[in-house]
Amino acid sequence: MFKTERKQGWFPEFTELNWRFWSFVILLIMSLGALTWFPVTGTFEGYTDPFYSPTLLVIPLIAAFRLSCYAYRKDYYRHVFKHPQACATGIREGKNGETRGYSGEKGFFALNNYHRYFLYVGIAILPFFYYDFGVSLFYEPGYFVLRLGSILLIVNALLLTLWTISCHAFRHVFVRGQLDCFSCSLGGKTMKKLYDGQSFLNRYHEQFAFISLIIVVGVDLYIRALMVGLPVDFTFLKFAI
């Protein structure tokens, strides 16, 4: 049986001199401090901060959705923790010495295995981002206003949607990714088309994940910049309705 030298579990990280890991811990502590000292103040001139309601209510779940995402997993295992140094799924042995292959991510105590449940929360809060976009368009009574901030809000909402629906768990749960045979099941052809469409988006899951992260942080900084009075807002369209 092939075995790697890797140590199992998260605890060895604390005993090793790994500047990437420890610097990440420092960043986490500083971020929590910053979140406490600079709470999200909500709305400004019709713009709603993407970290504000309802995200604020479910922020631990949303954070867990990001952290357990396959794209982020790949990146933090390889580049932040450098652990494991190399991947190999060993052949698992059964009780009678027979070999068993990979049997899915079913471990109860692994947070990453709950990705599909965090996905439900992710889907539930998506409509609010479109609502916030709508609010930003009509915040001046009697007028329709299209500003730079509104465009950023809709780009943010679209990228979050693309990131959510291109998720690996989404494929498993909603487009019958769990099936072994499409032609053997009812409505198999239609489902296969949906599955292929989703799989096309899934190829770009990593891109959506990171670009949407940049946009979320960017929109938050942008709204904070507006709040302190930086002249970064531009109106493109304004007419009475």
Partner 1 sequence: MSENAARYRYPLFFVGSFLMLIMAFFLHFGVEVQELYIEIIVLVGFVLFVMSMVVGLGSKE
Give contact residues for partner 1 (rule: CB under 8 A).
Answer: 20, 23-24, 27, 30-31, 33-34, 37-38, 75, 78-80, 206-207, 210-211, 213-214, 217-218, 221, 230
Which one, 171 or 205, has the nearer CB to partner 1?
205
Least distance CB 56 / partner 1 (angstroms): 18
Q: Which is nearer to partner 1, 145 or 160 (CB)?
A: 160
Smaller CB distance to partner 1: residue 173 or 211? Answer: 211
Q: Nearest approach, Cβ of 89 to partner 1 (angstroms)?
A: 19
Q: How far is the CB of 73 from partner 1 (least distance, A)?
A: 13
Q: Which is nearer to partner 1, 115 or 205 (CB)?
A: 205
Residue 113 or 207 having the CB closest to partner 1 = 207
We find the least distance from the C-beta atom of residue 107 to partner 1, in angstroms, to be 27
Burial of 159 (0-12, 13-18, 19+ CB in 10 A): buried
Cβ distance to partner 1 smaller for residue 217 or 237: 217
- Name the minimum Å distance from CB 149 to partner 1: 17
Burial code of 139-148, b = ≥16 C-beta within 10 A, e = fewer? beeeeebbbe
Q: Are 164 and 122 in contact (CB under 8 A)?
A: yes
Give the shortest CB-4-to-partner 1 separation in angstroms. 19
